Amino acid sequence: MPLKTPAEYIESIRALQRTVYLFGQKVENTVDNPIIKPSLNAVAMTYALAQKDEYKDIMTATSHITGNVINRFTHIHQSIDDLVKKSKMGRLLGSKTGCCFQRCVGMDALNALSMTTYATDQKYGTQYYHRFLKYLQYVQDNDLVCDGAMTDPKGDRSLPPHKQEDPDLYLHVVRETNDGIIVRGAKAHQTGALNSHEIIVMPTIAMRPEDKDYAVTFAVPSDTEGIIYIYGRQSCDTRKLEKYTIDQGNALFGGHEALIVFDDVFVPWDRVFMYKEHEFAGHLVERFAAYHRQSYACKVGVGDVLIGATQTIAEYNGIDRASHVKDKIIEMIHLNETLYCGSIACASEGRREEPGTYMVNTLLANVHKQNVTRFPYEIARLAQDIAGGALVTLPSADDLNHPEAGKWIKKYFKAKSDIPAEHRIRILRLVENITMGTAAVGYLTESMHGAGSPQAQRIMIARESNVKEKQTLAKRLAQIIKNED
């Protein structure tokens, strides 16, 4: 099957029959719902750019299974070049949408699964890798969006899964049949869940033998019976319901999160990729986490948009030549490009693993993501600093378009004489959207908590940094130990 067009993608989502709750109501049509639609548009952009000749080198790849051209989001990395292009793809799409475009989690889940299923088969003689390749080809051939579902509600964080008062706080197997397994639980904070064709479920932590019923990985269609979606609220989300789009800041694109409930969902055996092999839960989590921490090159693309908006409002306000403003924008650029360096570095230092999948450098991926937990917040602070107080005191678009109130807004919210007040308001609303509105979920909160907490990255940095080797280097130069070179 050829690559889907954006229109074909949207219609494929429209065809899904799912149970969705939003604002206390069941949503029958998620595609045209004004709250959800901007996030659908962001995913559609991943299809649109794959159709354009100037972006095909970044947005598409050649399947190692079939040799067909596929969307890079369904590709298993086969080289260092693939890893680098993944980083470039993230920045490109972030700059085109100004928000989270929601497909990275599924891509990272597929690549992590390619290694974990193979490793499990090598130890136990199972057939998970064969199942996975068959599933992967289905995803590639149909150009599907996969939601990577890892995060469990977790309940009491001091207790492992099997000791929770409510066993469903970690997704687990409740029954086995001849045809498959029945699972129960939930996955929280699921990015782009309603815009996905498939849900790939993974364990959220390393598992002990007592937790083997929680060590399960599988994939199901997103409209499987028993799956329930509860849409998450975002700051300023109801602005999408208003008559005028100006107050939205970014009316075309957005992200979304949802709670996915699995209410005794049946999973056939050919869709199960881990079942009670508890020691491989950590194997999968660590590989997925490293890949997904690389994926935060997307924040660089959103940072590009925010820097552009900040430079624009500085010019509109007539302060762009002030030395301190220039210096602040330079600092924003410096921080943003430093983030990009980290994503490119962990890709460039990647390595080939079994079964031929290329893995990012784990240490550098975690260093990159640690920077992502900090730098976007400083970039956003500087943007708000330069934008000024009007960022949060602007009247509404209804007032701007009012025959009486509007004339005063156009008079008193104008800065440079050659810039219409409406243009100034529009760029301020974009800065607001990225730094404190709906896009702030993807740019700031996701930067902090996505792909694991900051402490999770610090644990991996400590584990991967080999301080003993650094001590040896120092002791040799200090002549504490013999230099063997």
Annotated catalytic residues are 100, 104, 191, 257, 292, 296, 298, 446
> How does DSSP classify residue 31?
S
Rounded to 10°, the helix 421-435/298-317 angle is: 150
How far, in Å, are 91, 109, 150, 204, 442 from residue 363 at the CA level?
A: 21, 19, 21, 20, 24
Tell me the angle at which helices 104-124 and 128-142 cross, rounded to the nearest 10 degrees.
160
Q: Rounded CA gap, 193 and 148, in Å?
A: 9
Closest CA to 438 of 189, 249, 244: 249
> Residue 250 phi/psi, 5° resolution?
-130, 90
CA atoms of 329 and 427, how far apart (whole Å): 16
Buried residues in 55-80 as b, exposed as e (16+ CB within 10 A): beebbbbebbeeeeebbbbbbbbbeb
- C-alpha distances (whole Å) from 140 to each of 4, 134, 144, 313, 337 are 11, 10, 7, 43, 32
Contact 428, 387 (CB under 8 A): yes
d(CA 347, CA 91): 14
User: SS3 of 181, please?
Assistant: strand
Q: How wide is the angle at C-alpha 171 spanned by C-alphas 169 and 175, nearest 5°?
A: 120
Q: State the DSSP code for 417.
A: T
What are the DSSP E strand ranges found in 195-304? 198-201, 216-221, 227-231, 257-268, 272-275
